[in-house]
């Protein structure tokens, strides 16, 4: 193969790689194969895979489910919980049963979860992603945490009235 043939082959390979990268990042801006979880405030949802760009899926995991089948329609968010660096702001929140909250990862390069053990609340956010979550839990107090960063103190308390 001559010099011209090698140049054309290298150019074709570069275009193929660029096309694959663009196709992968066109899905909701999620990095890696699979994307993240999506959400519907009225019915909850299940997520797809996540994270391939975060160390071979170490961060991505499953999207999990958010919310639950609710008796009411989709409502507006009553509160936003921000995932910033390795903490939740605010870390203590109070909502009414059936309220919708927005969980927003504002850290530019770190994915986070909003997880409550033994419930259907397990939201995976890629960096700079937000999701609405219906809090359809019985009244009481629940601990929430980031599955990836719990050991770093990324925890909080949810009170449902």
Structure tokens at 144: 């929430």
Structure tokens at 91: 């870390």
Mean pLDDT for 95-109 is 96
Report the alpha-carbon distance of residue 144 to residue 113 in Å, rounded. 9
Length of the chain: 161
- Which helix (H) or strand (E) covers residue 159, if one does? strand 155-160
Q: Is the dihedral of CA 147, 151, 153, 157 positive or negative?
A: positive
Q: How high is the mean pLDDT of the chain?
A: 70
Whether the CB-CB separation of 80 and 21 falls below 8 Å is answered with no
What residue ranges do the domains of the chain occupy? 31-160
Whether the CB-CB separation of 50 and 60 falls below 8 Å is answered with yes
% of the chain exceeding 70 in pLDDT: 53
The larger pLDDT score, comparing residue 77 to residue 20, is at 77
Please give the pLDDT value at position 22. Answer: 38
CATH tag, 31-160: 2.60.40.420
Looking at the DSSP assignment, which residues form a beta bridge with residue 113?
124
Report the alpha-carbon distance of residue 145 to residue 143 in Å, rounded. 7
């Amino acid at each position: 193969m001559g010099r011209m043939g090698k140049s054309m082959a290298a150019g074709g390979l570069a275009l193929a790689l660029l096309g694959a990268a663009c196709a992968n990042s066109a899905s909701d801006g999620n990095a890696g194969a699979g994307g993240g979880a999506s959400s519907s405030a009225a019915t909850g949802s299940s997520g797809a895979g996540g994270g391939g760009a975060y160390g071979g899926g170490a961060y991505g995991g499953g999207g999990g489910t958010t919310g639950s089948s609710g008796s009411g329609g989709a409502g507006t968010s009553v509160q936003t919980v921000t995932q910033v660096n390795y903490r939740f702001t605010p870390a203590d929140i109070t909502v009414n049963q059936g309220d919708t909250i927005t969980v927003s990862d504002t850290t530019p390069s770190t994915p986070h979860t909003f997880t409550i053990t033994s419930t259907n609340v397990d939201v995976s956010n890629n960096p700079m992603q937000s999701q609405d979550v219906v809090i359809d839990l019985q009244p009481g107090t629940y601990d929430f945490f980031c599955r990836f960063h719990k050991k770093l103190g990324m925890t909080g308390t949810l009170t449902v009235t």
